[in-house]
Structure 1
Amino acid sequence: MTLAAAVFACLILLALAVFQLLLIGGRPIGRFAWGGQHDVLPRNLRIGSMVSIVLYAVFMVVILERAGVTNVFPDAVAQVGIWVLTAYFALGILLNGISRSKPERNLMTPVCIVLAGLCLLIAVS
């Protein structure tokens, strides 16, 4: 079950990375991200989207490491890392839930709920 949770979490993160790429490319979907104040992101938020993609890649490595798929970090790093990710996505539930952008609230809050739950499942296994 841990492997399935890890794969599912990584697929969601991959989808979020594609979403960020679309934002970087100037697609008018900014209402779903970064507070929803810009349909097309300004330069500074596009840079933020680039950073997000890098973070998602690191998140995937931590998740796969904790699930036993990869062997990049020491076990202690993966064990702490998965708990950090669980807390990060739990905080994301709150922050997306209070977003002024209704589309962001409706899309990203459930995404964070799922990611927090999957990371918790991986962390306790």
Structure 2
Amino acid sequence: MTYPILAAYFFSMLTALTVLFQLALAAGAPWGEMAMGGKYPGRFPPSLRVAAVVQALLLLCLALIVLTRAGLMFPGFYAFSTVAIWFVVAFCALSAVLNSITPSKKERRLWAPVTIVLLLCAIAVAVN
């Protein structure tokens, strides 16, 4: 297995866990202090529950782009993925920065390492 393919699988696995976290927030899990800067400890208000679902869908799209760029899915979209992967890299870079500077200590401890690994995986897929 090549390094970009391994990176794509690892990106997808971490993204799946993040999607599950977002869906749990949307369903009312009391983990608000570990998301959105910890501004809403406990359960998210309804508007942020909707935002959590939107974030989950966006993350799924990012994973599909990574898997397509690695040649693992949707070969008809490979040309699109060669450009779209750089959106994924930029998104992951922004996420890594924001999760590293969030005022929420729990969010920073949990998501900063995850988003940094996602960024490294996205870069590995993008450049190969």
1:113 Cα deviation after fit:
0.4
Q: Which runs of no fewer than 5 residues in structure 1 stay unpaired?
A: none
1:73 Cα deviation after fit:
4.9
Q: Deviations over 1:39-95 (max 9, x none)?
A: 210011101001011111111110110000112553331011111111111111111
- For 1:66, the equivalent position in structure 2 comes to 69
Amino acid at match of 1:113: I
- For 2:94, the equivalent position in structure 1 comes to 91
User: Match for 2:57 among 54, 57, 77?
Assistant: 54
CA separation of 1:71/1:16 partners in 2, compared to 1, >3 Å: closer, same or farther? same
Residue 111 of structure 2 is aligned to residue 116 of structure 1: no
Amino acid at match of 2:25: L
CA separation of 1:12/1:62 partners in 2, compared to 1, >3 Å: closer, same or farther? same
- For 1:76, the equivalent position in structure 2 comes to 79
User: Match for 2:109 among 97, 103, 106?
Assistant: 106
2: CA distance between counterparts of 1:96 and 1:53?
Answer: 16
2: CA distance between counterparts of 1:109 and 1:119?
Answer: 15
Q: Which consecutive segments of 4 or more residues in structure 1 shift more than 6 A?
A: none
TM-score if structure 1 supplies the norm length?
0.94
1:111 Cα deviation after fit:
0.9
Identity over aligned pairs, percent = 35
- In the comparison of the two structures, how many residue pairs are matched? 125
